[in-house]
Structure 1
């Protein structure tokens, strides 16, 4: 059976005026129903929805966006990588954006492309997004001066310092890796280790720099020796290679690794070299990846609050989008969650 009011196949698509006429209500009431506004009776709402279904009416979202100045979409710029941290943060952002009722548009950048961020911003602005989330973990510019990006919508930068940018509002969230690194370092010192060595991540990554700085600042503040840094590339293989170096130094009793993958490779290498974990060397990782609890020994690590960072940041971004004349909501530091397992212990008295 064909439903409708007898419009011919060549007639114009139904609009809100047609819905209002069929439902016996004003056009304003139709608008209120489809915008989920209050002050519409249950009977009127039902008649509007029934009329819309009978006519085959669909809201013209493009026209609605033009009228309101908003598309109810948020763009996300993120590094195209399968690494646990960036991928988990993107998943957290996706969940939160869905819950806010906004559409999500994602543009991936490629490591080693200094122009990638600017191109990604232009792409999202061309799509008419209402706000942009930048989750770009690598400093592609190095020490060079980047030309400021001009963005006419609010911007949220997660887990990195803001790039040179001109925007109505620039917000930051998730800058707490240094505090988490402090917690890991203090845990090892609290067990009685004289100092803590560090297996750092690649220093083009903001997170690696923050973790190194938190480790170094903690040792310095407590008057402890600051050992030379060993740098890996986030992989278990680089942790394994670093393990040979640490195993050869009898003074090493504690290592803080900048991520769990490197920590797991490190533990394997130490064990093969005859250095027991934690009896001879304690090891702390970072991230709390799903497998960290099941390796031997189970890994002490810092759990990253990806969902909390996304929730807090997106709440502030949506507030800035929907209240352009209001002051930005204040930022809250992410929680520090040290997960203590069996890979750390007091130093061996012998």
Structure 2
């Protein structure tokens, strides 16, 4: 392809991407992030990935686009805005001072972005193939956060934004409320140029973290991150993080919300990414009553569904324990005998924070006398 035809193709792709709901398209070469391998290795060696063993298992393919697909020549990076609305309750931290309500990360308040973006990427990739001459027809692959792709370093190399001190991508044009998608192609396209860092001396994101998850600027210890703890971490959540979690039951937006570059952010254009009314400020009392069918029905099509009912109820119980709301106690009490061990143990923690000493003593005696004592008494004797 000639430089002029290539330029025309990229212009057409930008227009098509905008039509499909994307808010940015930039291009990086497949070898644009040579430093990524060493940085990833240092991250894994420090243990910052926690229980996400898949990061270690896929490190070789994750370190470079060519490690994942040797034939790739160019990576087209795309951004899709999911910025919160401006109505009451839309904000990312709107519920933190409402202890009887749950705080859900903005990105998870509607449809699963994987499903939305992947379909649009496939359409854009097909458009790319259709617009290239027959003698230059490229191969393409699309990725949305589910394959071992270093989306954020690639997006910075392409010029969509830069990785801020909180390690998330920031754009001078659209802030930081956006998803990333990638199209790998065998077509050799001109790179659009990397973005530079514009954080300066600001450390608002670092100082906002409730659990001190940043050992240093531009470093994240996932083991201390509320997003990791509520979504990825299996089993009981360590006690040191339970009170700082507050009522955050799925993800955490504190560091994103603190970034001053979000003054340029806008509300999501894609209707499927606009928050559902019932997920803006859900009542903890309602969520505590969800059984597995109820959980699946409520979160059908939502990214929340993937963590499962038991892990979700674990998170809600921590929010209940932090709430100080005595009217949640009956709902917590029912979960003291839940079939899931982690739910039971977390229910004990929450009950002990909401109940009076006589109520706690009565419950302990009841469990000690029950036939099921061996399966539940450990939670009562555990040092909370």
TM-score normalised by the chain length of structure 1: 0.26
Instruction: Considering Cα pairs closer than 8 Å and 6+ residues apart, tell me whether 1 or 2 has the greater RCO.
Output: 2
Q: Which has the higher strand share?
A: 1
Identify, as 1 or 2, the structure richer in helix.
Answer: 2
Structure number, greater radius of gyration: 1
TM-score, normalised to structure 2, is 0.25
